Amino acid sequence: SIDISTFTKQTGFTTLDQGFVNTASTRSSITYIDGDAGILRYRGYAIEDVAQNSTYLEVAWLLIYGQLPTPSELAEFDERVRRHTLLHEDLKRFFSALPHTAHPMSVLSSAVSALSTYYEDSLDPHNPEMVELSTIRLLAKLPVIAAYAHKKSLGQAFLYPDNSLSFVENFLKLNFGNLAEIYEVNPVLVKALDRLLILHEDHEQNASTSTVRLVGSTEANMFASISAGINALYGPLHGGANEAVLKMLKEINDSGEGVQRFVERVKNKEDGIRLMGFGHRVYKSFDPRAKLVKESADEVLEALGVQDPLLDIAKELEQVALADEYFIERKLYPNVDFYTGIIYKAMGFPTRMFTVLFAIGRLPGWIAHWREMNEDPRTKIGRPQQLYVGEPAREWPAAR
């Protein structure tokens, strides 16, 4: 590979690469993907091993600091995150200004932006201590904001975080506990949610991470950059796909049109419909995360005693698509989002919270990339070129 900026300067050439299909925007040592072989590694560790053996906060440490933490480093990190879970009481009033129908992704990105207003004296991207503090604050507070967005949509009271609980237990209680009853944390849900969050923690230069890096390259603070990343994740071609998959499965179920007929409509590109949760820019044989999520879907539904016809439809869709020339030719396989929605639904989350769960999962990756970019002396402001295809120079009309 050559450094294209040097090449461009020397030759005067500009490359047009719509959608950045073949352009690396940075060097990175966080995540490795081999899309043809279906390999994903965090800091060199296979995703299968990470998902099997770790926890959300341990993986966050790994991604952010580059190595696995020692037990005492992890305990101290966990303790610091727990100490920062509270939101300023004034910020809680921010939620009252929004309609209860607000999409929780909009609430999340606005609240992260608003959160930074409480810390204006500690946002300096060049001060390592402040960067550390912003890291902890975001990890601690994003799940609380997410749970409040959920509670707000239900018209229920916000709970205070219970810092005697683990990260995932606390998050479940904030979402599903209420003031009137003692909340019993279900260990099946804790294990499954921890695993799903781990699988989402990083995925190199995807659209939202690239957004975080682009905004951060202007030396904007971490909160501003991550709020932008949340907005990029919202779209149905990216994180919003998990919500779109469930809607699609529900429509197939409710309409009774059958899987075969639906797949035909996708192939005919009727109204531009796509098989949501299928296809990936990078994975061209299989998405290793999808395989792990599918296993979890079976385990969780069985453990919870849930029988969901949408899981049967998803499995049939996968089978039909994987045997069909249209999908084979285009190398389209289930991606991480294909089965996640079914698990989130079984856990009790409403469809509109699915992408929010993805955002909590992806947060450590966003932070790791933002920090890597800021620590790299070669970083420059991101500023793509364009090929101008508009009018040539024109005379301003004398009389108008």
Tell me the catalytic residues.
280, 337
Q: Is 275 in the site for ligand ACO (CB under 6 A)?
A: yes
Smallest separation (angstroms) from ligand ACO to the CB of 337: 5
Q: Is 359 in the site for ligand ACO (CB under 6 A)?
A: no
What number of CA atoms fall less than 13 Å from residue 344's CA on the CB side? 22
Do 66 and 41 form a contact (C-beta atoms < 8 A)? no
User: How many of the chain's residues bind ligand ACO (CB under 6 A)?
Assistant: 19
Q: Is 368 in the site for ligand ACO (CB under 6 A)?
A: no
Stretch in the footprint of ligand ACO (CB under 6 A) among 80-88, 140-148, 335-343, 374-382: 335-343
Q: Is 31 helix (H, G, I), strand (E, B) or coil?
A: strand
For residues 229 to 248, the per-residue mask of contacts with ligand ACO, x marking binding by CB under 6 A and - elsewhere, is --------xxx-x-------
Select 191 or 281, whichever has its Cβ closest to ligand ACO. Answer: 281
Query: Using alpha carbons only, what angle is made at residue 104 by residues 311 and 296, rounded to the nearest 5 degrees?
Result: 30
Smallest separation (angstroms) from ligand ACO to the CB of 92: 31
Q: Is 337 in the site for ligand ACO (CB under 6 A)?
A: yes
Q: Is 64 in the site for ligand ACO (CB under 6 A)?
A: no
User: Which stretches of the chain are assigned E, i.e. beta strand?
Assistant: 31-34, 39-42, 45-46
Cα–Cα distance measured from residue 288 to residue 300, given in angstroms and rounded to the nearest whole number: 19
335's CB contacts (< 8 A; 6+ apart) are 241, 277, 278, 279, 280, 283, 287, 289, 290
Q: According to CB under 6 A, which one of 297, 332, 346, 373 is a site residue for ligand ACO? A: 332
Q: Is 277 in the site for ligand ACO (CB under 6 A)?
A: yes
As given in the structure block, the two tokens for residue 290 are 């999808």
What number of H helices and E strands is found in the chain?
18, 3
Q: According to CB under 6 A, which one of 234, 278, 339, 344 is a site residue for ligand ACO? A: 278
Tell me the sheet residues that pair with 41: 32, 46
> What is the binding site for ligand ACO (CB under 6 A)?
19, 237-239, 241, 266, 274-281, 330, 332, 335-337
